[in-house]
Structure 1
Amino acid sequence: MDWDKLRIFHAVADAGSLTHAGDRLNLSQSAVSRQIRALEETLNTTLFHRHARGLILTEQGELLFDATQSMSTRLEAASARIRDSEEEVFGELRVTTTVGFGTLWLAPRLTKLYEQYPNLKIDLMLEERVLDLPMREADVAIRMKEPSQADLVRKRLMTVRMGLYASPAYLKKRGPLEAAEDISQHRLICQNQRSAQVSSAAVLGKKLMALNPGSLLTVNNYFGVLQSVLYNLGVGILPDYVTEEFPQLIELLPEEDQHSVPVYLAYPEELRHSQRVGAFRDFVQSEIMAHRKHMKELGKL
């Protein structure tokens, strides 16, 4: 199929007029019309209904416009990547991480990144599923487990400590939890053991579930676990990056083994020299350093 004809078709469909499309493309109305007729003949279909107020896409035209719209979006993204330079950081950056980390740690800090790079567009994709970076489902990922693919650039950012927490109101109502065996008198709230990035955080959950908790609530992300704990539903297994923002929560069984989760930043090898990725990587590392300094000042490191 002729790319030039598709480009002209897209302009006409977008403008709804041969004349307006011609103005955009610096072509005469008759030249645009000839190209549209030629494309219709090639496809053996009618792409536009001719109307007194302009052109309206047929059903077949809608299908083709969806395809050219997708092509246009991908070409714009490719153009932005090509223009990416050391002098300027701009364009779209697709970042994926878990719901809990993205909502409670990353998103509140993004103001600083936008202040430094106002032309950067972040598409933040929060889900527990591990997106395929080499297949370009995302540009960069922050994961709660070490990436297994060989064609990724990866950097360990920090280690998150897992702990057991409850609200004062819940403990007042249900009584203390002074030993692991006391979980039989409480409702345990934890991330679903089948979650894609639960990793070593599952260790504490498995240990407590083996002690037959009185009741169990599993959630597929830590934001849900946190909300459940805050609303006095039970005792929850949470990472320290969550609980430090909620000092009213009480840590239980701190003498238990420290169960830790590694946090990695990863991106495809082909984006090693991308200025957008580099800017985001440096920003996250800077925030991690500030986070560590803050934790040391609080005596938690």
Structure 2
Amino acid sequence: MAPEPTLRLDWDDLKLFVEIARTGTLTAAAERLRLSQPTAGRRLRGLEEAIGAALFQRTPAGFRLTDEGEAMLVHAEQMAEEAVALQRKLIGGARGLEGVLRLSTSDWVSSRVLAAPLAGFAIEHPGLVVEVLADSRLYDLQRREADLVLRFVPFSGSDIVQRRFLRIRYALYAAPAYLERCGDPRASGDGNGHRLVTMNSALDQLPDVAWLRGRWPAALPAFRSNNREAQGAACVAGAGLAVLPRVIGDQLPLARLESEAPPPRDLWLGYHQDLRRLRRLRTLVDMLVAALPPEL
């Protein structure tokens, strides 16, 4: 009797399948795996041909798993989790000061807080490369999307080593031209006649946004953005009052309204416990702690 044909699957194609299932789009999965969209599409087609079934239904809302895809995802995710866990264990045992570290944080923290100490770190350790992922997405430490994450909310996993890293101070700012045009907001009871530069609606529950809205409920929004640097630029241009991190606002040609103090926020540092013995990661964390004051 002839032997049954052997199905050979490429692990990189399975990783792509898992990412498409998680993100819902080919484009997002390709970005996470650093593939071009045509390459990702070609790999997915090759995988489906090897399986002999469609794994996704292509819809206007994104990729939806077929029944065959649902069955395959259970096993593929288990394989992905085991592979990442093995990778963390192997990397966590590494002792040298060479290689790449992926650090995730927000755009303004990377440029205003970390850029200078990281530049010094690069000079001192030429065999190490720190790759900064500067965006608002919360990267997954379990899946090793990043080695080190700095973010404004504590980490929830019991396998994450975390600490309060920095306390970030905020202040209320206005351009001199705005104050000449609209007056000092501190003389207004509810902010009537004033305009606000603030976060977009998806982030309107942040403490500084709630503080600004509660302090001057009658003030109208003038400019919204999820980018602090863009808010600072709009404030400089006279669009309205803005709450900014002091590491941004104090460097701009703005008036800081001293008597108004929004609440500070804690920046948390975290990494997976499997990497706690990774010398290059410990060296980076120790450098950041030593180089930066506990409050900015």
TM-score band by shorter chain is 0.5 to 0.7
Distance 2:152 2:171 in 1: 16
1:174-203 deviations in whole A, cap 9, x for unaligned?
A: 33222453632222011235339x743333
Relative to structure 1, is the Cα distance of residues 132 and 179 closer, same or farther in structure 2, using a 3 angstrom cutoff?
Answer: farther
1:226-277 deviations in whole A, cap 9, x for unaligned?
A: 121122221111112222333x32112x334541101111111111111222
Structure 2 residue 287 is the aligned partner of structure 1 residue 287? no
Tell me by how many angstroms 1:93 deviates: 0.9
Tell me by how many angstroms 1:2 deviates: 11
**Residue identity (%):** 23
Aligned mate of 2:120, from 112, 117, 121: 112
In structure 1, stretches of 5+ residues that fail to align are 7-58, 68-73, 296-301
Q: TM-score, normalised by structure 2?
A: 0.64
Aligned mate of 2:170, from 155, 159, 162: 162
Q: TM-score, normalised by structure 1?
A: 0.63
Relative to structure 1, is the Cα distance of residues 224 and 213 closer, same or farther in structure 2, using a 3 angstrom cutoff?
Answer: same
Structure 2 residue 242 is the aligned partner of structure 1 residue 226? no
How many residues matched?
A: 224
CA contact (8 A) 2:172 2:261 kept: no
Relative to structure 1, is the Cα distance of residues 160 and 78 closer, same or farther in structure 2, using a 3 angstrom cutoff?
Answer: closer
Distance 1:190 1:220 in 2: 8
Report the equivalent of 1:268.
Answer: 272
CA contact (8 A) 2:103 2:131 kept: yes
Larger radius of gyration: 1
Aligned mate of 2:109, from 93, 101, 114: 101
Aligned mate of 1:251, from 247, 250, 256: 256
Distance 2:91 2:101 in 1: 10
Counterpart code for 1:107 = A
Counterpart code for 1:288 = L
What SS is found at the alignment partner of 2:212?
helix
Relative to structure 1, is the Cα distance of residues 179 and 80 closer, same or farther in structure 2, using a 3 angstrom cutoff?
Answer: farther
Aligned mate of 2:94, from 63, 76, 84: 84
Relative to structure 1, is the Cα distance of residues 243 and 128 closer, same or farther in structure 2, using a 3 angstrom cutoff?
Answer: same
1:18-57 alignment, distance < 5 Å: none
Distance 2:137 2:98 in 1: 27
Distance 1:226 1:91 in 2: 36
In structure 2, stretches of 5+ residues that fail to align are 1-5, 11-38, 48-83
Counterpart code for 2:133 = M
Distance 2:115 2:90 in 1: 24
CA contact (8 A) 2:208 2:262 kept: no
Distance 2:284 2:111 in 1: 17
1:61-111 deviations in whole A, cap 9, x for unaligned?
A: x859x99xxxxxx9xx989937831xx412111111112211222224321
Counterpart code for 1:215 = P
Distance 2:157 2:227 in 1: 23
Report the equivalent of 1:278.
Answer: 282
1:2-13 alignment, distance < 5 Å: none
CA contact (8 A) 1:103 1:223 kept: no
Distance 2:164 2:271 in 1: 12
